[in-house]
Amino acid sequence: MPIEGAEIVKAASLLGAGLAMGLGAIGPGIGEGLVGAKACEAIGRNPGEAGLLTRTMLVGQAVSESTGIYSLVVALLLLFVV
């Protein structure tokens, strides 16, 4: 069974989607873990400010998550558009 060019392109785009998602998830994972750990330390030291700290933590995590979201968008483009 001969392999045509379009199939190679499809296989490459699927492989690229998997690589983009897998590698792109490393950074946000580490970053969100660090933010959560520091927020836990801060809440342990100063429990009265827990509300403010949780709010700031969520915003910081969502910002550090954005690179992971970009890789998700790239992976979806590779899956459905290419």
Tell me how far apart the alpha carbons of residues 1 and 11 are, in angstroms, rounded to a whole number: 16
- Candidates 19, 26, 50, 58; binder of other proteins (CB under 8 A) is 58
Residue 2 to residue 40: CA distance in whole angstroms: 58
Binder among 14, 69, 78, 82 for other proteins (CB under 8 A): 69
Give the residue, chosen from 36, 59, 78, 82, that forms a contact with other proteins under the rule CB under 8 A.
Answer: 59
- List of residues contacting other proteins (CB under 8 A): 55, 58-59, 62-63, 65-66, 69-70, 72-73, 76, 80
